[in-house]
Amino acid sequence: MLTAIGIDSDPTLVHFVETAAGMGADLKLLNLRAAVEGSWRLPLGSGEPARFAFGGESLALAPGDAVYCRLIDLSPVLEERDARRRWRSLVGGLAAWLEQSEGVVINRPGHAADNGSKPLHEAWLRRQGFDVPASLTSSSAERLSVFAGQGPTIAKSVQGIRADTRAVAPEDFTGFVAARGPVHLQRRILGRDLRIHVVGADVHGEMIESDAVDYRTEVARFREFPVPADLARRLARATEAAGLVFAGWDFKLDDKGRFWCLEANPMPGYDGYDTRANGAISRSLVERLRSRP
């Protein structure tokens, strides 16, 4: 029995559940939006199952169960104090319980936390031996302007929160005040985008061709990309080193054939890529969940 955990409005979770069910997977769903309205018990260190009761139903998670989870905490967007408290309690408790679970968990919530800070994450990527574009994180208008003047530059979210990437120039920092910072700048690499999903030893690559700074904002052309064997092995090792089973890696492939690593996403929204890959990523996920830890 496999368990999927998340919220019912998350398209990636919905895609996984529907695709896994279509593959014949025996699957149960813990919808956090429903669970937060009920009661729960999450014993730690005792080997006891986690138990949930909501809407006249009950659900139990044994410590050895296989889990695909996308823990999304809705407390920041809620106005009612008690509702915020319940969301924080449920998500925090589940995260702690999943960390000590003996089963396959994709992914354990406490791993790859460096992704929440772009400077820290880029330093980790470099330590794994990947080529990472030069970058600067600063609240100084002068330093930001100088960096932007040294070559093509993009601005990215300094945190792990999804935000569109955009091109910037030195004049964009005229009148910039430190209180609006910090800003994370990165040297723009011209070339084709690659998204490579890693599930254990399985590697699925896609090439994206677009004239946009951020291909997610414009029409793009997608095609399967056979990942070179050496790069595939390095990505599998780095994913494991991060404590992850599943990761979505973003690269730029420049005209000289050099792979530039931009990010390793520990909770990738993979549904669009998987649809174009005819469910290959979901099959890897289901197979990994069915395996032993």
- Which of 146, 167, 187 terminates a domain? The answer is 187
Domain range holding 214? Answer: 190-265
Q: Confirm whether 281 is domain-assigned.
A: no
Residue 217 has pLDDT above 70, yes or no: no
Give the SS3 label for residue 227: coil
Residue 160: the pLDDT is 67
Q: Confirm whether 177 is domain-assigned.
A: yes
pLDDT tens digits for 125-143? 999 999 999 999 999 999 9
Same domain, yes or no: 208 and 225 = yes
Q: What angle do CA 64, 232, 237 make, to 5 degrees?
A: 50
Same domain, yes or no: 26 and 98 = yes
**Structural domain count, the chain:** 3
- pTM comes to 0.92
Q: What angle do CA 284, 114, 134 make, to 5 degrees?
A: 100
- Which of 106, 123, 154 terminates a domain? The answer is 106
DSSP secondary structure letters along 49-63: PEEEEETTEEEEE-T
Take residue 130 and report the two structure tokens written for it. 């990947």
pLDDT tens digits for 142-169? 999 999 999 999 998 887 676 778 899 9
Take residue 141 and report the two structure tokens written for it. 């208008």
293 falls in which pLDDT band (50, 70, 90)? low
Q: What percent of the chain has pLDDT over 70?
A: 97
Same domain, yes or no: 214 and 234 = yes
Residue 26's CATH number:
3.40.50
pLDDT tens digits for 78-119? 999 999 999 999 999 999 999 999 999 999 988 777 878 899
Partnered with residue 208 across adjacent β-strands are 193, 222
Same domain, yes or no: 98 and 47 = yes
Ordered alpha helix ranges (H), the chain? 11-22, 32-35, 81-99, 118-127, 141-149, 229-241, 271-276, 280-290
Residue 110: the pLDDT is 80
Same domain, yes or no: 174 and 196 = no
Q: Indicate if the alpha-carbon torsion angle 247, 71, 269, 16 is positive or negative.
A: positive
Residue 225 has pLDDT above 70, yes or no: yes
